[in-house]
A = this chain, B = another copy of it.
Amino acid sequence: MESVFEVIAEPSRRAILSLLAGSEQSVGEIEQRLQMSQSAVSKHLRVLREAGFVEASVDAQRRLYRLRLEPLKEVDRWLEPFRQFWEAHVDALERHLDQMEQAERMKGRDQSQRRGSHSARNTK
């Protein structure tokens, strides 16, 4: 579980992060709000903590967890080169429109085998 991407692949962990974006929370509060078992919460928090997504401060027997931003920034940085594609302007506009159009009709997308289809359009 080294990479930030693996860490946020888990829905429960993303939920925890979103929750902490609102305000810091104790383990018990997270448990309650997200309806998960205490051990599950603690384990996810451990993963998040070790990856730097959260940090805890001690309040008596409780740990108050709050967000840390660095790992999220890392995700953001990974996204950068791609973001260019949809933030870019005029010159590449055609290609991007094409992609967005594809996105629109992506709804019922399925790649069946098309047996007997003679659509062989070569001409590379």
Number of interface residues of A (CB under 8 A): 59
Interface membership of A96, Cβ < 8 A: yes
Interface string of A75-89 (1 = CB under 8 A from B): 110110111011000
Interface string of A12-38 (1 = CB under 8 A from B): 001001100111101011011000000
Interface membership of A99, Cβ < 8 A: yes
Question: Which chain B residues lie closer than 8 Å to A31 at the CB level?
Answer: 118
CA–CA, A26 and B83, complex, Å: 23
Q: Which residue of B lies closest to A38 (CB)?
A: B118
The answer to whether B5 and A106 touch across the interface, beta carbons within 8 angstroms, is: no
Cβ-neighbour of A5 out of B8, B83, B107, B117 (below 8 A): B8
